[in-house]
Amino acid sequence: MKGALGFRRTALAGAVLATALGGGAFLVACGNGGQDGGGAAAGGGAARLSVADSYIPMPPAGGMAAGYLTVRNEGGEGDELVKVSSPGASSVTMHRSTASTMEQVEKLDVPAHGALQLARGGTHLMIMGWQKAPVLGDELELDLTFTRTGTISVKVPVKELTYRPGQQ
């Protein structure tokens, strides 16, 4: 009897903890919304992530779009990007380019004191199933989920096909 009661207590505590952690991740996501926050800390964890230089080259009509961005980590612990989704597009996947083709990957490392770079010719996001055809100047919300940090939401601008970060 006593043992059973103890077990139930533990299970309940675990549920409360999980709820608290979930709430924490949500707060992190809200506080980190700005994409040019310049190293906004992600509270608690040792990985400290920020997202910069995000853009989507204007896709051909009805076509799939690529997405590029840089995830900086000023913390002493690595993290992993494990999922990307968007309220404005039904499919966002992570791709790695090889010499002749590209392949989907399930996760991408964000090294400690380093950065994950998604850039032309290399690793990128593939965005399909736009709810509304994008036009120049639009912003698409991307929700980036990391193993340790949780979810960071960024608004990614749609730019000319030839745009490169650092240009205006």
- Please give the structure tokens belonging to residue 4: 């059973």
Nearer to Cu ion, 102 or 115 (CB): 102
Using CB under 5 A as the binding rule, whether residue 102 contacts Cu ion is answered as yes
**Judging by DSSP bridges, how do beta strands 124-130 and 65-73 pair with one another?**
antiparallel
Nearer to Cu ion, 101 or 162 (CB): 101
**Judging by DSSP bridges, how do beta strands 139-146 and 79-85 pair with one another?**
antiparallel
User: Least Å distance between CB 103 and Cu ion?
Assistant: 8
Nearer to Cu ion, 41 or 126 (CB): 126
Distance (Å, rounded) from C-alpha 54 to C-alpha 72? Answer: 12
Residue with CB nearest Cu ion? 95
Q: By the 8 A CB rule, do 57 and 66 touch?
A: yes
Using CB under 5 A as the binding rule, whether residue 52 contacts Cu ion is answered as no
Nearer to Cu ion, 70 or 123 (CB): 123
Number of neighbouring beta carbons within 10 Å of residue 150 = 23
Using CB under 5 A as the binding rule, whether residue 48 contacts Cu ion is answered as no
Site string for Cu ion, 123-152 (x = CB under 5 A): ---x--------------------------
Query: Which residues are 59's β-sheet partners?
Result: none
User: Least Å distance between CB 126 and Cu ion?
Assistant: 4
State the distance between the two ends of the chain, measured CA to CA, in whole angstroms.
Answer: 70
Binding interface with Cu ion (CB under 5 A):
95, 102, 126
